Amino acid sequence: MDTKIIIEQSDIAFGTSGARGLVTNFTPDVCAAFSIAFIKSIETKFSFNTVALAIDNRPSSYAIAQACAEGLKQLNVNVIYYGVIPTPALAYKAMLDDIPCIMVTGSHIPFDRNGLKFYRPDGEITKIDEQSILSASVEFITLSQDLTELCESQAARSAYIQRYSELFNSDALAGKKIGIYEHSSAGRDIYKPLFESLGANVISLERSDVFVPIDTESVSDEDREKALNWSKEHSFDAIFSTDGDGDRPLLADEKGHWLSGDTLGLLTSQLLNIEALAVPVSCNTAIEKSNSFKQVTRTKIGSPYVIAEFNELKAHFTRIAGFEANGGYLLGSDIEVNGKRLTALPTRDALLPALLVLAQNKCISNQLLALPNRFVASDRLQSFERSKSIKIINELKHGAEDFLVKLGYEIGYEINVIDGLRITLKNGDIVHLRASGNAPEIRCYTETNSKSKSIILASKILGLVKRKKC
């Protein structure tokens, strides 16, 4: 069989974060084809004889990992399986060992879908690497239905915990009462013992045996209500959670209000004394308005685009980082924190931003008071065909006047088409629509000087889109 042909016929495509598709399309041969093509696409650039592998808690993930491992055996490479761990834990361990890795995860998308994330020994693959994987033509033997059981190692889990337990003093979270919304997060067995080792009083909340597709960029009304109720019941200083594969944080303040991911990223970057940032175009303009950074570069949405800017920033600055509106934090350079060296981890991470903010003496709501008064809301329409999303966005690019009038705005605006359509109005309000790169959905981001206004505006926009009145 030929990897290129199998991949082309699979209906699985690269989005903003890895290859994604329906579980039914991730057949054993498709998984093997992607794994083999990945290794072949990087083997001339790096020297290695081992590949690391891990999964999230989706029902389909283990079988996909088995098929990936079976395919890799045909290349005579060793496979180390780390079980269910966060994506950044796998990436960190693989980078320490100077080997590539594959994470089986669909992140926040529904459980009937899944995905593969690929990492070279030096970090996430690039968009150029994606094309190399898709174009690789390698003959391989079709897999049997009987796939070998995988032997699990705890080494990546231990290394990830050590990265942060050694960065902070053992009393860094002393006196803090923290709830951890565990659901089906891949890191749920890591967070509580780590937080407790730093002195926190931790209460586990709502662990689920069913996969829960938490989207940190578009928090559901149900999860907003849960946080408010948990906060009242337990008097938490904070509530922490992540998306499915543990690379995007979800942090609520002492009142039970979830922070937006870019707000958390901004706080983190200030605490780390970051000099230069790369962030997607959808992030809050409070980043620039804070006057905290020497340079802020805006990119297309997706961690590969953020990471691609790091090389440019490294030429001029020593403390660089990036983050996304979903909260995933990417450390682009080795830096000193608390008098200790923290090595770069150029992939989305949920723990660093949460721990830094939680370790401060000020409560979270007081930390937010120092930020510019700008609020981003995001929402989405699911089961919305990509072609339909693109058609609507293209129509608005050529004339959004009627659409904006329906939203109550006066005519007069500027547009940005780096990723989707971002409209900045005369009064400073921002409307941004884009087709998701990971799932059949259209996403909406709004930014105003009022949290409630941003939320209402996002809902109103998607209402117009749904009724085809834009």
Active-site residue list: 107
For residue 29, give the nearest of 66, 61, 58 by alpha carbon.
66
Rounded-to-integer distance, Cα 450 and Cα 430, Å: 12
Rounded-to-integer distance, Cα 386 and Cα 20, Å: 14
Grouping H, G, I as helix, E, B as strand and the rest as coil, residue 91 is helix
Rounded-to-integer distance, Cα 166 and Cα 162, Å: 6
CA-based radius of gyration for the chain: 22
Rounded-to-integer distance, Cα 419 and Cα 238, Å: 33
Q: What is the DSSP string of 31-73?
A: HHHHHHHHHHHHTTT---SEEEEEE-S-TTHHHHHHHHHHHHH
The 10 Å Cβ neighbour count of residue 288 is: 16
For residue 284, give the nearest of 145, 84, 152, 446 by alpha carbon.
446
Rounded-to-integer distance, Cα 323 and Cα 279, Å: 6
- Write out the E strands in 121-248: 123-124, 177-183, 201-207, 238-242
The one-character DSSP state at 142 is P
At 11, list the tokens. Answer: 């209906």
CA 12, distance to chain mean position in Å, is: 19
The set of residues, in sequence order, having a beta carbon less than 8 Å from that of 149 and lying 6+ positions away, is 66
The one-character DSSP state at 115 is E
Rounded-to-integer distance, Cα 320 and Cα 165, Å: 22
